Chain A
Amino acid sequence: MVTIMKTYFIIMILVMLIYMVRHIVFSYNRLYSQQKISCRDIYDSDLPKISVLLPMHNEGKVIPLIFKSLLECEYDPDKLEIIAVNDHSTDATGEIIDHYAKAYPIIRPLHRLDPDQQRGKPVALNDAMSIASGEIFVVFDADYRPSKNLLKKLVSAFCDPIVGVVMGRVIPVNTGTNLLTNLLNLERTGGYQVDQQARYNLNLLPQYGGTVGAFRKELLMKDGGFDEHILAEDTELTYRLALEGWRVAYDNSAECYEEAPETWDARGKQVRRWSRGHNEVMFRYLGRTLRSQRLRFIQKFDAVLLLMVYTVPFLLGLAFLDCIALFFLGKMSIIAGWVFVLFVGAFNAWGNFAPFYEIAAGALLDGMKNEILALPALCFSFYFYMWNISFGLFDALIDMVTNRRVDWIKTDRYAESDPDKIAVSNGKAAEK
């Protein structure tokens, strides 16, 4: 028993070491290696027809803003349609959509009001795709504010015939609200500015995040659309297409503001949901990824590490309990000094703190100043994530064992985004 316990935490040391090396490699690549250019610099008069899909549930507060942004987008209106899906909303979402659809022919409403219909983003998207006429689908959540040239940037990636999905960069707009939003901003910076871009540079697997992204219609329609029984339909799509040989492109310049959760409760629910969905995808695709003939070894390796990202915190928690048990069993003194140190150091430094390399590199590239000083607070948020991610993993296990149906839960929205306030404050930021 003791041998098993010791073996387990040595394995966890190795796992954390692998993740640490991965993050250092990504950080180094982003800072010093040659960066891949994206297709955004291409000028092409033959743009494909696109359908912008907006799944909405009780988004009455923010709909006018995204409509305004999309209507001002620089894209040939003859090749653009916007399908706004009212998914069982109980507020004024439906009325607002109808109002805009009447005024602007490129906006098409789709009301899903039948109480017997399944609710949720994947189902709403599937219904929207069945009536969409575009070759490329672009998905935004309702609280996003795409810039004028964002659609063109995303769509230009599909000039490459091997690209099946493209992902842009998400930037929290409410970063200054409280410590949580500040930390989320740091995490996003590390995740997009460094991690996603490095994976794109190295021909690994950037991840489609479900919004500020686009994909080819034909690829989804041939498989019947999104899997309606999975929470992380974006991750599922990423792996589905990657294993079929399609590439996921990432465009770091295709930036869009998002609203980050402002309370720890909301963030906890969000992380738990992501963990549940991601682990569902992990159960489904881990074996397939390992057996894939399409992916090179290094792509497969990184794809597996990505799949495990919402499982490792739970395993680290188990390792922590393992260590406590070994402590009370009096086995600490039997371990040679350096091996013991390896675990404790690894636990606190390599696994816990591995993202810090990426976050620091990303913060530097973004020109952050005082925001970066909140980095130590991320250490404590690791325990928060470990807690919620573990529950998400349990949810996913129960779903798998009992075939439980997933009920879609939307992240809470906060203050209405005020575009003028954002423009003024950004203008001040630019002047500095």
Chain B
Amino acid sequence: MRATTGTTVTVETVLFIPWVGDVSYISLEGATPTFTFSLINAVVSLLFILIASQTNRSNRPLMIYLCMGLFVHLVSSLFFIFFPERFPYSLADYSKLYILQQIGTWLTIALISGVATDLILSRGGYKYAAFFITVLYSFIFGCVRYVVYLYILYKFSLLYMAMLFFIFGVLYDFLGMIAIYALFVRSVSDLMSSRSGREVWRW
């Protein structure tokens, strides 16, 4: 497969778990950042960290989260400033790591979602619907995000790899799971307080 820019895109495989077998991933070359680009990113990250930490007192958690992301990006920028040749990952490596992580995340989410929904409601359609929607959400999100992130790293720079990996990575899979879980619990709460659902909670 060739992209329009002439970049070579191939599909490789890697071992996931010995008794499960191999998984496939997209392999292509990413854009290495220049010194100037890395420097600009470092300065901007630092500036934003300083500004964010002094302002936005009304939403501290979001500010701290963003500062963490900017910190990771700052570290990445500094790494590319001082040790650009030592950056250990190519875009193909990132793609492989992403797929390994994502498949594991899908399995983990399926397990956690199953346990969590079963805890709240031991029988009934709501729990299966919540489980199915959660797994589907995670699958679709994982796939589209894979393409989008690969594009960002390919088109712009490998500099963003660390931030995409740590800050905009698996956390959002679990955020989505929690959101669907919250909707599920709310539905169960509605059901239990409805006329048909009102029953003695048997301890």
Task: Using CB atoms and an 8 Å cutoff, list the residues of chain A in contact with chain B.
Answer: 24, 27-28, 31-35, 263-265, 268, 320, 323-324, 327-330, 332-333, 336-338, 340-342, 344-345, 347-350, 352-353, 356-357, 360-361, 363-365, 367-370, 372-384, 387
Contacts and interface: CB of A to CB of B under 8 A. Distances in A.
B120 interface: yes
Contacts of B112: 349-350, 353
Given A324-B166, A338-B104, A364-B189, A380 B181 contact: no
A369 B170 contact: no
Interface size on B, as a range, is 35 or more
28 contacts: A31-B119, A32-B122, A324-B162, A333-B96, A333-B97, A338-B16, A340-B100, A341-B100, A341-B104, A347-B170, A348-B174, A349-B109, A356-B116, A360-B182, A361-B119, A363-B185, A363-B189, A364-B120, A364-B189, A365-B201, A368-B186, A369-B190, A372-B186, A375-B179, A376-B179, A377-B61, A380-B61, A383-B65
A344 B78 CA distance: 24
Contact of A364 (B75, B88, B166, B192): B192
B89 interface: yes
Interface in B104-122: 104-105, 107-109, 112, 115-116, 119-120, 122
B97 A369 contact: no
Interface string B76-102: 100100000001110001001100110
User: Interface majority SS on A: helix, strand, loop or mixed?
Assistant: helix
Given A323-B166, A327-B165, A337 B189 contact: no
Among all A-B residue pairs, the 5 with the closest Cβ atoms: A341-B104, A330-B88, A264-B60, A337-B100, A345-B108
A344 B102 CA distance: 10
Contact of B64 (A320, A328, A363, A387): A387
Contacts of B16: 337-338
Contact of B189 (A332, A338, A340, A372): A372
B178 interface: yes
B152 interface: no
A379 B178 contact: yes
B203 A344 contact: no
Contact of B193 (A24, A367, A378, A380): A367
B17 interface: yes
A361 B120 contact: yes
B89 A379 contact: no
Contacts of B174: 348-349, 352-353, 379
B90 to A, nearest CB: 10
A373 B100 contact: no
B59 interface: yes
Contacts of B14: 337
Interface in B15-58: 15-17, 57-58
Contact of A33 (B60, B76, B173, B203): B203
